[in-house]
């Protein structure tokens, strides 16, 4: 996060005595990235932030990954995926590699356990629903279309106000605006499709008093992704003030201003975030190419260095009738396979002035593997949809691609 924020009660000088009205010292914590060499915040706690009284194994849901072998483009129907109702513990793994894991969960309205991800930042796309995310920095409101960015090791919990469809993109790194959108000092530049006004961080502190509070921690060992349940002597939401450039925030896709062109613009103009070895883009309703001979749908493309995951989150799917792709679908177009529109869709797109669809895309620079949740809802006919026939010889649906 590029810019400074101060919330609640902080002393005028860092690393100096800061006391409550009774004269007791607050406990200062620096939460910082990349050692002491990148963004950080200073938090002032009532209790000791390291005071734990128990540590036990938290058994994570199935994290098995199955290689995409033999190589195929895939279509996964997330709306057919049944999940438990907890925003944290009932996430099912859809796709993943050693840089990022993509999950899916349909929540109820009970709050999640307290939780933090010690592996990397989380970028949770809210497909449907609303509520709040309570964090050690304060409370974020969330609604459909939000990306909720929760920095690594931020203690938080999800409190859905209504059942919510969440698409967690869990990084093994940090998630931030692309560097090319930023000035050398970190301000979002004029050519960026969004600016600081669109990023919504906590505005006030959030304090809870209790003792022996369990926090689920996702972390890594040589055995891969694992979980631990830590019990804290006092409630971790005891921060009376904080300041700095590291904190959770939300960004809504409605605040993303798509960049359009006279001819087809490549996916990087639709980028919203980047992590290590992956990017997040969104394709949103927009005017399309205005050259008199333009072809609005994409050319075939072979992203030789990446796997491409499209999650179709909104819009009019009339144009895809019969394709199998619809709201809640994921398409995985892996490196080593050229993809693009079904041939008839090219002619059908000529003269079109506006695209209505919304999709969230994750491009990874290492191959993705299928999680158990992805395998459970795969449409086996998709790989043959461009040819119109597969190994069984039957007809397969046509594809119309936005990316
Ligand atoms: Fe693509």
Q: pLDDT, tens digit, for every residue of 231-271?
A: 999 999 999 999 999 999 999 999 999 999 999 999 999 99
CA dihedral 94, 96, 101, 103 (to 10 degrees): 0
Question: Is the separation of the CB atoms in 62 and 372 below 8 Å?
Answer: yes
Apex 182 CA angle, 179 and 188, nearest 5: 135
For residue 15, how far is its CA from the centre of ligand 1 (angstroms)? 49
What would the mean pLDDT of 38-57 be, rounded to a whole number?
Answer: 97
Apex 231 CA angle, 230 and 234, nearest 5: 135
The CA-atom distances, in angstroms, between 272 and each of 73, 96, 289, 295, 317 are: 24, 20, 21, 24, 24
Q: Range with the lowest mean pLDDT among 72-76, 356-360, 393-397?
A: 393-397
Peptide bond into 394 cis (omega under 30): no
Q: Which residue has the higher pLDDT, 343 or 19?
A: 19
Q: Which residue has the higher pLDDT, 317 or 208?
A: 208
For residue 178, how far is its CA from the centre of ligand 1 (angstroms)? 19
The Cα–Cα gap between 113 and 116 comes to: 10
What would the mean pLDDT of 91-108 be, rounded to a whole number?
Answer: 98
Q: What is the pLDDT of residue 346?
A: 87
For residue 75, how far is its CA from the centre of ligand 1 (angstroms)? 14
Q: Range with the lowest mean pLDDT among 93-97, 182-186, 397-401?
A: 397-401
For residue 73, how far is its CA from the centre of ligand 1 (angstroms)? 11
User: 343 falls in which pLDDT band (50, 70, 90)?
Assistant: confident
For residue 288, how far is its CA from the centre of ligand 1 (angstroms)? 16
The Cα–Cα gap between 317 and 313 comes to: 11
What would the mean pLDDT of 167-193 be, rounded to a whole number?
Answer: 96
Beta-strand relationship, 114-117 and 211-221? parallel
For residue 64, how far is its CA from the centre of ligand 1 (angstroms)? 26
Phi and psi of 130, rounded to 5°? -155, 165
Phi-psi region of 131 (alpha: psi -120 to 50; beta: other; left: phi over 0): left
Q: What is the pLDDT of residue 397?
A: 53
Question: Is the separation of the CB atoms in 71 and 336 below 8 Å?
Answer: yes
Flag whether pLDDT at 399 surpasses 60.
no
Residues with CB under 5 A from ligand 1 (ion): 308, 403
Span between the terminal Cα atoms of the chain, in Å: 28
For residue 356, how far is its CA from the centre of ligand 1 (angstroms)? 17
User: 391 falls in which pLDDT band (50, 70, 90)?
Assistant: confident
For residue 78, how far is its CA from the centre of ligand 1 (angstroms)? 19
User: 321 falls in which pLDDT band (50, 70, 90)?
Assistant: low
For the chain, the maximum distance between any two Cα atoms, rounded to a whole number of angstroms, is: 80
Q: Where are the beta strands (DSSP E) in 284-352?
A: 286-287, 307-314, 329-333
The Cα–Cα gap between 205 and 41 comes to: 14
CA dihedral 377, 383, 389, 395 (to 10 degrees): 30
Q: What is the pLDDT of residue 324?
A: 79
What would the mean pLDDT of 368-384 be, rounded to a whole number?
Answer: 96
For residue 57, how far is its CA from the centre of ligand 1 (angstroms)? 40
For residue 94, how far is its CA from the centre of ligand 1 (angstroms)? 19
Flag whether pLDDT at 402 surpasses 70.
no
User: 322 falls in which pLDDT band (50, 70, 90)?
Assistant: low
Q: What is the pLDDT of residue 1?
A: 58
Q: What is the pLDDT of residue 306?
A: 95
In the chain, the percentage of residues whose pLDDT exceeds 70 is 95
Flag whether pLDDT at 67 surpasses 90.
yes
What would the mean pLDDT of 67-79 be, rounded to a whole number?
Answer: 97
The Cα–Cα gap between 96 and 291 comes to: 39
What would the mean pLDDT of 33-56 be, rounded to a whole number?
Answer: 96
What would the mean pLDDT of 98-105 be, rounded to a whole number?
Answer: 98
User: 344 falls in which pLDDT band (50, 70, 90)?
Assistant: confident
For residue 339, how far is its CA from the centre of ligand 1 (angstroms)? 6
pTM for this entry:
0.96
The structure tokens 């059908």 sit at 348
For residue 340, how far is its CA from the centre of ligand 1 (angstroms)? 6
The structure tokens 């975030």 sit at 273
Q: What is the chain's mean pLDDT, rounded? A: 94
User: 390 falls in which pLDDT band (50, 70, 90)?
Assistant: confident
Flag whether pLDDT at 31 surpasses 90.
yes
For residue 279, how far is its CA from the centre of ligand 1 (angstroms)? 13
Query: Is 348 in a helix, a strand, or coil?
Result: helix
Q: What is the pLDDT of residue 401?
A: 52
């Amino acid at each position: 996060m590029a810019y400074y924020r101060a919330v609640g009660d902080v002393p005028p000088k860092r690393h100096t005595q800061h006391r409550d009205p009774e004269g007791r010292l607050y406990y200062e914590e620096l939460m910082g990235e990349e050692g002491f060499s990148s963004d950080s915040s200073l938090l002032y706690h009532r209790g000791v932030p390291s005071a734990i009284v128990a540590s036990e194994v938290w058994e994570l849901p199935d994290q098995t990954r199955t290689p995409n072998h033999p190589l195929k483009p895939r279509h996964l129907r997330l709306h057919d995926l049944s999940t438990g109702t907890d925003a944290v513990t009932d996430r099912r793994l859809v796709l993943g590699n050693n840089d990022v894991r993509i999950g899916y969960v349909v929540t109820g309205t009970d709050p999640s356990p307290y939780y933090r991800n010690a592996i990397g930042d989380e970028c949770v796309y809210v497909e449907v629903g609303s509520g709040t995310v309570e964090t050690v920095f304060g409370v974020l409101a969330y609604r459909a279309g939000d990306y909720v960015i929760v920095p690594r090791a931020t203690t938080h919990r999800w409190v859905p106000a209504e059942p919510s469809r969440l698409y967690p993109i869990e990084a093994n790194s940090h998630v931030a605006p692309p560097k090319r959108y930023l000035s050398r000092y970190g301000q979002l530049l004029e050519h960026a499709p969004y600016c600081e006004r669109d990023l919504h961080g906590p505005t006030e502190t959030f304090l809870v008093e209790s003792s022996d509070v369990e926090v689920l921690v996702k972390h890594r060992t040589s055995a891969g992704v694992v979980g631990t349940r830590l019990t804290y002597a006092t409630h971790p939401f005891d921060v009376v003030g904080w300041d700095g450039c590291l904190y959770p925030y939300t960004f809504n896709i409605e605040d993303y201003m798509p960049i359009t062109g006279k001819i087809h613009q490549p996916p990087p103009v639709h980028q919203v975030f980047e992590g290590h070895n992956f990017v997040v883009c969104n394709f949103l309703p927009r005017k399309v190419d205005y050259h008199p001979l333009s072809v609005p749908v994409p050319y075939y493309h072979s992203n030789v260095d990446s796997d491409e995951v499209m999650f179709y989150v909104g819009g009019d799917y009339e144009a895809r009738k019969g394709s199998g792709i619809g709201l809640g679908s994921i398409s995985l177009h892996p490196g080593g396979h050229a993809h693009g529109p079904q041939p008839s869709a090219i002619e059908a797109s000529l003269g079109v002035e506006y695209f209505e669809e919304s999709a969230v895309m994750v491009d990874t620079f290492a191959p993705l593997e299928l999680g158990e949740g992805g395998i459970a809802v795969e449409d086996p006919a998709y790989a043959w949809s461009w040819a119109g026939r597969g190994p069984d010889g039957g007809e397969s649906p046509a594809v119309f691609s936005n990316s």
